Structure 1
Amino acid sequence: MSTGSPPCCRLPQVARILRELLGDACTPFYAAAGHKGAGHKGAVEDRDPLYYSQQSPNPWTDLFIWALLLNRGEMAMYCWEMAPDAVAGALAAASILRQLSHLEQEAQEAAAMKELAAKFEGLAIGMVGECYRSSEHWVLQLLVRRSCLWGGATCLQLARQADARSFFAHDAVQVLLTQNWWGEMNRGTPVWQLLLTFFCPLLIFTNLITFRRSTEEEGSPEPLGTMELNSIDVNEKSSTRGSLEGPDVVGSPATQCDSKDWLQRWHWFWGAPVTTFLGNVVMYLFFLLLFAYVLLLDFAPPPPEGPHGPEVLLYLWVFSLLCEELRQGCFAGHQPLPQRICAYLSDSWNQLDLTALLLFLMGAICRMSSWTYESGRTVLCLDFMVFTLRLIHIFAVNKNLGPKLIIVGKMVKDVFLFLFFLAVWLVAYGVTTEGLLHPHDQRLPWIFRRVFYRPYLQIFGQIPQEEMDAALMKATNCTGSAAEDCASTYANWLVLVLLVVFLLVANILLLNLLIAMFSYTFSKVQGNSDIYWRSQRYSLILEYLSRPALAPPFILLSHLYTLLRPRTRCSRSRHFSLELSEEQDGQLLTWEAVQKENHLVALRRQKRESDTERLKRTSQKMDQALKQLAEIRESERHLKSLENQMEYCTQALSWVVDALAQSDLGKKHQDPPMLRKE
């Protein structure tokens, strides 16, 4: 390539980079540029791309992306201020910069990218706060609106891609999540009313379950019409609270219900995610009860005697759970299948579900044979423990228990670190004492028990002194087979010393170290646990929005209905996504631009009034004053030097005048008399 030729970098290459950085939150950028090269990537660079003859939707957005990819922070900030769609742009910038920071090899550049990403996340949070103070109704639409400039992604999708936990912790986002969690039901409905209605559905048509009422008509935000920007009220807060039902509305309000709205009431109750969650929890408890009953009371021998009816029902129930996991992993979402599977496996709860299902399958296969019947029973008993631990997931929805669950998850890592240190001492102490006390024992099960199990129990105070102290050992004839059980007393004093040292290190040092680690983790995570929980709440609500309303094992009916009508898109999957017309989208962006200007003005005012800025201005004034004072001192020094020189010159001139005067007087005295007479 010659020196004057442009760099060989086409927009399809930029599109692939953005796809890697933003994931599947956005549709591919510059899709028109790569349309000709579909099917073979190399053909894109060999043809004239379409974007040469097409106009960009917004050049400021393109410049903004370019500045982000080159890590030019000031230019990116200026382009963000000039470009529309401020909240989505700030979240997309945070996502791009955080992904780039992971690829950056230089630590200083990576730190600068992370700092800039945090700055853009703060701008997004500030913008949402400014919009929320202006109008709650409009900001809820802004959060779920599909952005044309950012590949049809919503603000919530971009925030999830950017891992912006603080953004999800904002009150506006939590209001949105709460509205979708309760659907059209009153959010203050007690749990006992939901449970009672769940078991007796006819209570839906009574006043036991109340639904939200609104006089607002179903549709998009109120039009601005011919209103000018100066007349938009940016201070009045709307009290409208919608529920984001349907593809074209953010708050489809519930009309006043009467006796004729039975079908609508039925749909509102069973269509709410809180009902789906409650149904899954109740049916999961019944599943655990059935599992326990089969293991304890009705685990029949292999065929032809068993399995009996309850066990067959258990197998059907687990099959429904397996179908639901396959639906979540392979058929949920619009990404390619490998990406859907990777996203599914990245969740620890999904990994636990797969482990439980695989153990159940293994145990069910083993129990069908008389040779492996007991092994199958053992595997199923262990699997019951795994299924029961899965029940902890229901705590995530609770406001008080959810943050504590996050703290427990962080402490589990501390436990594994503690077990590593403890295992080193257990092996060192256990092998040494076993070699000193039982040098002739060749039974491996007993050796492993005394090497690992006995030292572990000694930590909790279970010390068998009659087996370790020679003074307390019973006299035994150490002959024949009894010689294996007889402890050696040759170096018993060393065994007692090692016991003291082990208890000192394990009970005092390591256990207190574990307590200190727990305290540090608790104090560190406690302040941010609420933010973590609020960000995870979005994933939980999104999961139950996409789930069928029926809980296992009845969920098989929903799966069968989906298979029979694969093209039918359930309205529940359209939550958190809002399609607006071009006019409505323009009105919303205009309102957002006004809020952005207000927010930037407030930031500049806050920056001017901040203590740091005041100190900076004071420091600048002091520097100017010191500079002027230094100039004055320099002028005074220069003037003083001139005065000294003038004084010296004056003295020199006076000396010269005196010298000349004395010289003239001397000449008069030395003239001859003749001349003097004349």
Structure 2
Amino acid sequence: MERGPLQWLYRQYKIPFMKVFLNVLSLFALLTAYAYMLLFDFAKGISNTDVFLIAWMTSFFIEETKQVFVAVKRQRKKQYITDPWNILDWLSMITYICGMLMKLEDTNDYFTASKVLLVAAFIMFSIRILHMFSMSELLGPKLVIIQKMFNDTIAFMAIMFVISMCYNISYYAILYSENSEFTFEQLEKITRNGYWMLFGELNLEGDRLTEPECTFNQTEYREGSKERCPSSLGRFLAPYLKAVYVLIAVILLLNLLIAMYSNTFAEVHEKSKFYWSQLQTDFLEEFSLKSIFPVHMQLIAIPFFVIHAFVWLVRSLPRCRTVKCCDASVHAKDDSTILHHAPYTHEDDIKKFNKIPMFVRAYMS
């Protein structure tokens, strides 16, 4: 790699932009194979597509493990742990591993849970592509806007949760006089009413049903053959409670959220250059430490690194003996020559770096 056209290839590829470009291509290849597995090749056991995905995930795990060692060595453990993209990487890998382990089981319950976990991992890997857009001056500031809007959404959902919980419990308790069965399906029915109303699903006729369109028989409405009839008090009070909820949640709080989004967009858009420069600096620092080999080629490259390291160690043994003999003669000279050395410069760092074996520079830089 230090001679001929390979030297030019190494110097071109070690640029962070080229690392980003090839990692984006490898990530798209992963998602294509992942989508094919979920849609057309999802079966019990390990298929050929699963072998490719497992090899890619192993390479991805090696890359993330290397980042952990680099962060510890540079004393930046806190920055690594608090980075949301690193958290997403480890969470997606753990989810994928759990999904694949459940896929190996023969029972249908484990097989269904496996597909749910693998779909969740696919969603997280798809979101991971957004991190690559930080390099773009056009898309980078948009990611900052989305991140800050997401923080606004979390603050909004804390208020919305209290209002929605208050409405759902009150509405359901007034609408039906008899006790409800404590099941997951029943809890889902209680909470979905207020949630879907935020998106315009008012269901105005649901609280005004009367027999024979509905029934008071618990067996019939629990089986799902007919809707449950509301009580007379529920038919009278529930519409007014729903109107108050729409006024507070839909009209007031949603417009407040839109105003928060508009304010965040105006602030970030005004300083978009600054935010993008800061985002790009962190992004380039991360990819300057990545291997020159794409994530999906880590397993292919590791055997060559091991062979190169072994050859380098074998060749360096005679050299080390010569250096020790030379050191004895050097220390015998006058120490006054050391005091007249030139000051330490950046060129000394370059020379020191060039003495490092090629397999270290290729894999660790």
Q: How many Å apart are 1:458 and its aligned residue?
A: 1.3
Where relative contact order (Cα < 8 A, 6+ residues apart) is larger, the structure is 2
Q: How many Å apart are 1:321 and its aligned residue?
A: 0.3
Tell me the TM-score normalized by structure 1. 0.43
Q: How many Å apart are 1:566 and its aligned residue?
A: 6.4
The AA in structure 2 aligned to 1:447 is: Q
Structure 1 residues 504 and 315: CA distance shift in structure 2, 3 A: same
Equivalent position of 2:231 in the other structure: 488
Equivalent position of 1:582 in the other structure: 343
Counterpart of 1:517 (choices 257, 260, 276) is 260
Whole-angstrom CA distance in 1 between matches of 2:305 and 2:272? 38
Q: How many Å apart are 1:431 and its aligned residue?
A: 0.5
Equivalent position of 1:503 in the other structure: 246
Counterpart of 1:401 (choices 123, 139, 145) is 139
Question: Over residues 376-430 of structure 1, what are the superposed CA-to-partner deviations in whole Å (9 max), with x where a residue is unaligned?
Answer: 1211111111111111111100001101111111110100111111111111111
SS at match of 1:554: helix
Q: How many Å apart are 1:480 and its aligned residue?
A: 5.2
Contact 1:363/1:379 (8 A) holds in 2 = yes
Q: How many Å apart are 1:332 and its aligned residue?
A: 5.6
Tell me the TM-score normalized by structure 2. 0.77
Structure 1 residues 328 and 493: CA distance shift in structure 2, 3 A: same
Question: Over residues 322-348 of structure 1, what are the superposed CA-to-partner deviations in whole Å (9 max), with x where a residue is unaligned?
Answer: 01000111246734xxx4543421211
Structure 1 residues 268 and 331: CA distance shift in structure 2, 3 A: closer
Q: What does 1:177-216 align with in structure 2 at a 5 Å threshold? A: none
Q: How many Å apart are 1:300 and its aligned residue?
A: 1.7
Whole-angstrom CA distance in 2 between matches of 1:341 and 1:559? 26
Structure 1 residues 442 and 333: CA distance shift in structure 2, 3 A: closer
Contact 2:211/2:229 (8 A) holds in 1 = no
Equivalent position of 1:454 in the other structure: 193
Structure 1 residues 298 and 500: CA distance shift in structure 2, 3 A: same
The reply on whether 1:545 has 2:306 as its aligned counterpart is no
Equivalent position of 1:425 in the other structure: 163
Question: Over residues 25-58 of structure 1, what are the superposed CA-to-partner deviations in whole Å (9 max), with x where a residue is unaligned?
Answer: xxxxxxxxxxxxxxxxxxxxxxxxxxxxxxxxxx
Q: Counting helix residues as a fraction of each chain, which structure ranks higher?
A: 2
Structure 1 residues 584 and 379: CA distance shift in structure 2, 3 A: closer
The reply on whether 1:437 has 2:198 as its aligned counterpart is no
SS at match of 2:42: coil
Question: Over residues 464-521 of structure 1, what are the superposed CA-to-partner deviations in whole Å (9 max), with x where a residue is unaligned?
Answer: 2221125x77544533523662222223221111010000111110001101111121
Whole-angstrom CA distance in 2 between matches of 1:475 and 1:366? 44
Question: Over residues 196-236 of structure 1, what are the superposed CA-to-partner deviations in whole Å (9 max), with x where a residue is unaligned?
Answer: xxxxxxxxxxxxxxxxxxxxxxxxxxxxxxxxxxxxxxxxx
Whole-angstrom CA distance in 1 between matches of 2:16 and 2:135? 12
Equivalent position of 1:314 in the other structure: 53
Structure 1 residues 269 and 508: CA distance shift in structure 2, 3 A: same
The AA in structure 2 aligned to 1:397 is: M
Unaligned runs of 5+ residues in structure 1 are: 1-259, 569-580, 586-678
The AA in structure 1 aligned to 2:93 is: L
Structure possessing the higher radius of gyration over alpha carbons: 1
Structure 1 residues 261 and 439: CA distance shift in structure 2, 3 A: same
Counterpart of 1:368 (choices 80, 97, 104) is 104
Equivalent position of 1:353 in the other structure: 89
Q: What does 1:3-402 align with in structure 2 at a 5 Å threshold? A: 262-301=5-44, 306-331=45-70, 334-335=73-74, 339-371=75-107, 372-402=110-140
Q: How many Å apart are 1:564 and its aligned residue?
A: 5.4
Q: How many Å apart are 1:557 and its aligned residue?
A: 3.5
State, as a whole percentage, how many aligned pairs show the same letter. 26
Equivalent residues, number: 307
SS at match of 1:439: coil
Contact 2:20/2:287 (8 A) holds in 1 = yes
Whole-angstrom CA distance in 2 between matches of 1:466 and 1:311? 49
Q: How many Å apart are 1:368 and its aligned residue?
A: 0.8
Whole-angstrom CA distance in 1 between matches of 2:345 and 2:185? 77
Whole-angstrom CA distance in 2 between matches of 1:263 and 1:467? 72
SS at match of 2:137: coil
